[in-house]
Structure 1
Amino acid sequence: MICRNEAITNLRRAIEFYQGLGFEYLPVKNISRAGLAVEKVSEAPVPYSESGVTDVDISNKDEALKRLREEIGDCQRCKLSKGRKNIVF
């Protein structure tokens, strides 16, 4: 089972990754905060090198898309991959 600090670190990495791709927000469902204890863990940014995620300059969107396609390759993680002919981002 993943520990709390590791879960927070993974979430921070994911958010930073999507910010690097140009996302300004991520849609999430509202959850009740009742019963949730919030503990401040760290304010230090998580370096991309630890997660294997690389920094991408999105000013050149064609190049960023090419690099993303090279990084994820022929992804087979979901059921849709069997009939897919194009990678959709």
Structure 2
Amino acid sequence: MFEDTSLVIVLLVASLVVNLITMVMVIVLFRKNGMGASRKEGRGGSAQVEAAASTAPVSGIVFCRACGNQYDSTSPACPSCKAVR
């Protein structure tokens, strides 16, 4: 199938070198951004989830599952049918 084994060896070595360079670059970027394995994660699993949980609730519009009316997302129940979210 492969008559010229030197070409196959050159291509394998080239792909290995490219993969090693990519791996080194990823490791350097992870360390530079502080995303190493020593970073402690909270119960949420990521820093983004923890940051979102610690901020105030965002106001928006939601639909009631019972009657379908729109109401403010900070309300605990639908103002029309009083169904709890």
Q: Into which bin does the TM-score normalised by the smaller protein fall?
A: under 0.3
TM-score by length of 2: 0.26
- Normalized per residue, the structure richer in strand is 2
